[in-house]
Chain A
Amino acid sequence: MAQKTVLRKPRGFIDVYKHKPGAEKDRTHYCPGCGHGILHKLIAEALEDFDLVEKSIVISPVGCSVFAYYYFDTGNLQVAHGRAPAVASAVSRANPDSVVISYQGDGDLAAIGGNNILQAANRGENMVVFFVNNAIYGMTGGQMAPTTLEGQKTTTTPYGRNIRTDGYPIQMCELINQLTAPVYIARTSLHDMPNIRKTRAAVRKGIQNAMNRKGFSFVEVLSMCPSGWKMDAVQSQNWIKENMIPRFPLDTYRDNSDQPYTVERPVPIMDPEEVRKILGFGSLKTANLRQNPDAVLRKVALRVSGFGGQGIMSTGIALANVGMEYGYNVSWLPSYGPEMRGGTANCSVKVQEETIGAAECTEPNMVIAMNQPSLEKFEKILVPDGVLMYNSTLIDIEPTRKDIKVYPVPITGMADELGDTRVQSMVSVGAFAAVTGMFDPGEIKSLMPVLFAGKSDKVMKLNEDAVQMGYDYVKDNFS
């Protein structure tokens, strides 16, 4: 690396923070004097210097640094509170060539995510964790954190933290140092220039460890929160020195970076054929994609809704499986209450030729309503020219909208006719095939061994009949 002649905003940052809402796309959202910005800069600089910007994935936590993805020009994921190490573990295993960075604050890492960090450390996941310890909950307005010092006043400890009732400040480095797997554990501080430079060295070591697959590195950084501490930035630096460091000693607790061992994980399976084999499906058939004459239905975004127990989820899963078998991209997303039967349930199903982004159908172009509340609820969100199929056995009201296509189908009635109400899900599938023209009933029947694996021939025959019945009803009555 050539000697730098200018110190400027590192390329690890996005040039203009285009993902940040509002007008101020040239600056961060952090308060004046916040330590996050300093650590961000040290990380971004290291990523630039080691040429890792394109190879890194930063996992943002919940806390002030929740918006780290506004700033880092890396792969970014923002995850549930405290779960950054768990997600980072998965990302690291699925992308063994990437440098995975988990960036977390004290509320996120030491409180709600306390177990997550310990387990990831104990597994020796190949990642680097940057732990910003400012002894307070900054984002939510300065409440007591697990790391809040004895006697420290916060909005929830107005008389100071009382160790008899609130416990002691948690020392994460010391805790993680009890585990065997981590390779690098250090605590540094941002309270003056020599320590910022030590932090810089620790940041670079952690990132290099991840790059070289050395395993789990943990860098705790004592950082200023001038807003939460109600002082200015320079007073905050002094406060770290005088109050935090006695409780959180600065040290390199472990450094096994030189060990020859590198983290080995099973190679992730990226081959779709292999995944299908493991899941017990047949080989991918891509030749069967049909050009649907109805433009609306070329991208099926379906909502199936009804009472729990009406086969709502089964209908969705069956359609997604059939779609998958015929080479479409599919997704299935259930939504239901805690009841097993009798509550309301719905699911989103997408069967599309294009790649699917969100799995939830907020604007469905097709709705299968199995009961009246579902009809009333989902008729409203159907797109214009969308398709509404409803269970005319149980619903005796008419849909009110005139800009949609309506298919009243006695789904429950037909299932009862076959002698088993439970097959109404396959009646729906057959009717769906007829409405969309995407599948032939014969094709769906050929998939019975997949959809009803382990079930008797009698059950499969019954469901085949149900598919045919639903299909024929729509063909006979609506075309």
Chain B
Amino acid sequence: MNEHREYPCPEIDPDICKGCGLCVAACPKDVLMISPKLNSKGFHYSEYAGEGCIGCGNCFYVCPEPSAVTVYLKDYVPEEVS
């Protein structure tokens, strides 16, 4: 994944996402979008623009798929990669 990301940021598993678009509609900063690409299940999955996330958690709570969206909040400290 992107090692140099800034927090807060969302992480969307492109293979789990079913492309319903609820997170795109719920994002107050419009930094999520439906990808033109298809995932292995044939869905246009949701993607993060790469910057602008404020860590509100809307995308996490609106997503009906338990493991599709993870949101790393402002104070998140990545675990040391050994």
Q: Which residues of A come within 8 Å of B, CB atoms? A: 3-10, 13, 26-28, 30-38, 40-42, 44, 71, 192-193, 196-197, 200, 226, 232-234, 237
Q: A9-B67, A40-B66, A234-B25 are in contact. Are A33 and B20 (CB under 8 A)?
A: yes
How many residues of B are in contact with the other chain, CB < 8 A? Answer: 30
A192 surroundings in chain B (CB, below 8 A):
26
A13 surroundings in chain B (CB, below 8 A):
66-67
A35 partner, pick from B15, B64, B77, beta carbons under 8 A: B64
Which residue in chain A gives the minimum CB-CB distance to B16?
A27
Q: Is the CB of A197 within 8 A of B67?
A: no
Q: Is the CB of A41 within 8 A of B63?
A: yes
CA distance in complex: A26, B68 (Å):
9
Q: Is the CB of B57 within 8 A of A30?
A: no
Closest CB in chain A relative to B31 CB, distance in Å: 15
B61 surroundings in chain A (CB, below 8 A):
7, 38, 41-42, 193, 196-197, 200
SS class of chain B's interface: helix, strand, loop or mixed?
loop
CA distance in complex: A7, B7 (Å):
12
Q: A3-B75, A196-B61, A237-B22 are in contact. Are A32 and B43 (CB under 8 A)?
A: yes
Q: Is the CB of B62 within 8 A of A193?
A: yes
Q: Is the CB of A41 within 8 A of B64?
A: yes
Q: Is the CB of A233 within 8 A of B63?
A: no
11 contacts between A and B (CB under 8 A): A3-B75, A8-B67, A8-B70, A26-B16, A31-B18, A37-B65, A38-B62, A41-B64, A193-B62, A232-B21, A234-B21
Closest CB in chain A relative to B65 CB, distance in Å: 6
CA distance in complex: A233, B71 (Å):
21
Closest CB in chain B relative to A30 CB, distance in Å: 6
Mask of B12-52 contacts with A, CB within 8 angstroms, 1/0:
00011011111001100000000000000001000000000
Nearest first, the 7 A-B pairs at minimum CB distance are: A37-B64, A33-B20, A32-B18, A32-B20, A233-B20, A7-B60, A7-B71
Which residue in chain B gives the minimum CB-CB distance to A197?
B61
Q: A6-B71, A233-B21 are in contact. Are A38 and B63 (CB under 8 A)?
A: yes
